[in-house]
Amino acid sequence: MIRRLRSSGVLSADWLPAFESVDRAWFLPDLMWPYDMESRTSRPVDRGLDPGAWYSCADADMPITVQWDDGDHRGSAPGRVATSSVSMPGVVASMLAHLDVRPGHRVLEIGTGTGWNAGLLTHRLGDGQVVTVEVDQAVADAARARLHGHGLHPAVITADGLLGHAPRAPFDRIIATAGLRRIPFAWVEQTVPGGLIVAPWGTVFGNTDHIVRLTVSGDGRTASGHLSTPVEFMKVRSQRHSVDQTAYLPDGFPGGATTGSTTLTAAALGVGDRMHHPFATAAGLLITDCALMADRRGSSVSTWLYSLNGDLSWAAAVLTDNTAESTVYQSGPRRLWDELASAHRWWAGNGRPGPGRFGLTVTADGETIWLDTPGNPLPRTVGSQIPWPDLTNRGHPVANWPQS
């Protein structure tokens, strides 16, 4: 794995000793569920039954789930929602490179998981320099035991990492290894001026996050930076969301929806494909509090939009890659298809920007999204300061997504 990471350029020489010394396999339980990115499925691998398969997965550039359903899961079949994992080594190396640590730095990690990433940081910086926060007591206890067994002693705290860790602040660096839909201002307050916050951040539009690297301003009151590589991480517990379609369509499809038409195709919107399409990033940034779900069957892509601000608006269309016109159904106070079409016009009119042209600024008042420079905020469709809807326990998760 280390050879592959080195030859792809993602693992830099300064991180090599840590990767060589802190073995990922050490941090993994006997029963684990590697996630295959191609088939988008998890399967159990038991060290006792097949040690060869177990070691080859531990050494592969793939995410591995180690906990399902917040621990409320028994047996070897995959559970409903993957809730703790060890991330892909390539993503881990890339985020650590973004973190740009120096000797003497104090680092806070949010999302201890197996403890591997905390172990890499501790090997590099020293025991007293690293604090890692994990929301799940059992996950934190297992990570602490494995870290100690490896001779590494970062502070492993069981708490909600969205609060940061004030008792040991300030930190030079904060790194989150769970996906964020909002970056808490507490992290800005707990980072030194000029310090960095590196996190997978995204919108509720889809499951994709982007690595963001925010620099804290000289007065410590804002943190700002560009989006970069698209990735997919499991989300922090309180920022997961799910969509229960029956709440939107209590009387079945199409309910009281009005109909119209669209000339947008599946290919133009990039829906129904596995590759991340740059319009998806832009649409998520422009259309707030809206989830998209798309399901390809042959050449047709059922495309649904659901408002997540509690008004139960939805829109749907069956698109193909090249049909000139498709019927659109819209229901509720928000005209979500019109918002999508308007976002597409904005995106096309602004040179079809990819993720790297967008940026994020976090202040005490919330988040601002911008194009190219902080002075150029996006025309977002709905105020982003509305309360976060508590949909965690309603219905099923959007999908059994890959977990970083």
Ligand X SMILES: C[S@@+](CC[C@H](N)C(=O)[O-])C[C@H]1O[C@@H](n2cnc3c(N)ncnc32)[C@H](O)[C@@H]1O
Among 89, 113, 164, 230, binds ligand X (CB under 6 A): 113
According to CB under 6 A, which one of 78, 79, 89, 111 is a site residue for ligand X? 111
| Cα distance between residue 283 and residue 288, in whole Å | 9
- Which 313-352 residues touch ligand X, going by CB under 6 A? none
Residue 393 Cβ, how far from ligand X at the closest point, in Å? 16
**Three-point CA angle 331, 334, 337, nearest 5°:** 75
The token duo for 391 is: 């949909």
In whole angstroms, the minimum distance from the beta carbon of 244 to ligand X comes to 22
Pick the closer one to ligand X by CB: 177 or 224: 177
371 binds ligand X (CB under 6 A): no
328 exposed, middle or buried (CB, 10 Å; 0-12, 13-18, 19+)? buried
Binding status of residue 116 toward ligand X by CB under 6 A: yes
Q: In this chain, which stretch among 2-10, 231-239, 288-296, 345-353 interacts with ligand X, using CB under 6 A?
A: 231-239
Q: How far is the CB of 28 from ligand X (least distance, A)?
A: 9
In this structure, the number of other CB atoms found within 10 A of the CB of residue 277 comes to 19
Do you know the residue count of the chain? 404
- Considering only residues 77 through 96, tell me which ones interact with ligand X, judged by CB under 6 A: 83-87
In 207-313, DSSP assigns E strands to 209-216, 223-231, 258-262, 290-297, 300-307
290: closest CA among 329, 246, 343, 238? 343
Report if residue 174 touches ligand X, rule: CB under 6 A: no
Distance CA 69, CA 65 (A): 11
Beta carbon nearer to ligand X, 89 or 355: 89
Least distance in Å: CB of 344 to ligand X? 32
Query: Which residue lies nearest ligand X, judged by its C-beta?
Result: 113
Smaller CB separation from ligand X, 113 or 202: 113
Q: Minimum Å distance from CB 85 to ligand X?
A: 5
CB of 234 to ligand X, least distance (A): 5
Q: Closest separation between CB of residue 160 and ligand X, Å?
A: 5
Is residue 87 flagged as an active site residue? yes
State how far the Cα of 188 lies from the Cα of 41, in Å rounded to an integer: 36
Q: Coil, strand or helix: which one is 172?
A: strand
Binding string to ligand X for residues 117 to 136, with x set by CB under 6 A, is what?
A: x---------------xxxx
Question: Which one of 237, 296, 320, 338 is in contact with ligand X (CB under 6 A)?
Answer: 237
By beta-carbon proximity to ligand X, the closer residue of 96 and 317 is 96
Q: Per-residue x/- mask for ligand X, residues 143 to 172, rule CB under 6 A?
A: -----------------xxx----------
- Can you tell me the distance from the alpha carbon of 235 to that of 292, in angstroms, rounded to the nearest whole number? 17
Q: Which of 139, 197, 212, 216 binds ligand X (CB under 6 A)?
A: 139
The DSSP call for residue 389 is P
Query: Cα separation of 205 and 347, whole Å?
Result: 16
CB 61 within 8 A of CB 83: no
**Looking at 18, 234, 285, 336, which residue binds ligand X (CB under 6 A)?**
234
Of 207 and 330, nearer to ligand X (C-beta) is 207
Binding status of residue 207 toward ligand X by CB under 6 A:
no
Comparing CA positions, the residue from 353, 342, 241, 329 lying closest to residue 286 is 342
Convert residues 34-73 into a mask of x (bound to ligand X by CB under 6 A) and - (unbound): ----------------------------------------
225 φ, ψ (degrees, to nearest 5) = 180, 170
Of 42, 84, 87, 326, catalytic? 87
Contacts of 384 (CB under 8 A, 6+ apart): 288, 289, 366, 367
Least distance to ligand X, CB of residue 187, Å: 12
Pairing type for strands 326-331 and 64-68 reads unpaired
Handedness of CA 345, 349, 352, 355 (dihedral sign): negative
Tokens (6 digits) for 354: 């990819």
| Residue 236 touches ligand X, criterion: CB under 6 A | yes
- Pick the closest to residue 305 from 314, 318, 294, 296 (CA basis): 314
Which residues of the chain form contacts with ligand X (CB under 6 A)? 83-87, 110-114, 116-117, 133-136, 139, 160-162, 177-178, 233-234, 236-237, 403-404
Catalytic residues: 87
